[in-house]
Amino acid sequence: MGPFRRRAGLLVILPLVSALTGYPSTSLAAVLAGTGHGSAEGIDVDFGHYSSGDVDSTSSSNYQVELSFTFSVSSAGQLSGGGSGSYTDAHWHLFGVNGDNGSFDCDPPITAAPFSVEVSGEADGPVAHLSLSMPDATETNADYNCGADYSGYATTSHIMSSSLSLVGGDDLTVPLTAPSSFTVQKQTHSGSGDDTENDEHIWSFSFTPPVASAGGTSASSGSSSGTKPVTCTLALTNVSAKPSPAPAGQPITIAFDVSSPAHASLFVQPGGGKGAAVAALNVPAGRDQLVWGGWSGKLPATSGHYELTVVAQGCGVTRTQAVAVRVT
């Protein structure tokens, strides 16, 4: 019994950046000069139940990936680029009862190698319709034996590649006039009665567009005589968690504000302290999000109190702020 198939469900989009700024009065080629940068974090948390005859089985899994990529825009407005990604978590837990054979419980080992990221799309005025894909992202497990005469065969899946497609990763609308960040959630449900599967897909994206240029001078070029230098300051405020309290093993979204672009990381620790890093993104100034999949190691997090700490680095300083969450 391997990882379950994913099916379509309800789509919820949570924008973090407000309306676009005005489009510069320069040519398309000038505006889109240079290289854009992006990053993404994807989570798929799955809970399934299967019952047939004397067998009653529960399956839970947690897969997480991080992507980093660059892209450019041709004079014809075509986007192209690429990057790399890696799995930051890949766990699958099975337990249940196999009739008179008794109870079984196991964690089939998952192998998930680093993979490439492909970027394509086209510009449309001040925005881009950007497509992200990771066709060689693969999860595999060998034959497994959970005890109580309950076993399964080796499987190969593309769970996170499918998850990215499910949340619309092949057509992301990205501003080309300012950095942006947003999160997309999608729930999928399949089956009925005693045979069900429920998935929570959460993807956070962050984009910095190519540097605009005007009159042949890059926007990042040195300042002219008499121009005052720009002072960079970083503040981290308004950290909040949703849902809170949270069901055990379910994702928790941490929202926060930063005053300048920063590298943001999320740390989780039962009962306080900084703990282990569970997510990281390069984020623009404004309202941003990081997501904890709700797992601790190989299993869903147990009930109790957790401290989730956001660490933001930028402008030569580090800022931290924590929020307490109760898992039920």
User: Is 104 strand, coil or helix?
Assistant: strand
What single-letter amino acid sits at 231?
T
The pTM (predicted TM-score) of the whole model is 0.75
Query: pLDDT tens digits, residue range 68-111?
Result: 999 999 888 899 999 999 999 999 999 999 999 999 999 999 99
Buried b (16+ CB within 10 A) or exposed e, 6-35: beeeeeeeeebbeeeeeebeeebeebbbbe
Q: Which two tokens stand for residue 167?
A: 């949340």
Q: pLDDT band for position 270 (50/70/90)?
A: confident
**pLDDT greater than 80 at residue 114:** yes
**What is the CATH number that goes with domain 231-328?**
2.60.40.2550
State how far the Cα of 238 lies from the Cα of 258, in Å rounded to an integer. Answer: 9
State how far the Cα of 302 lies from the Cα of 300, in Å rounded to an integer. Answer: 6
Q: pLDDT band for position 31 (50/70/90)?
A: low
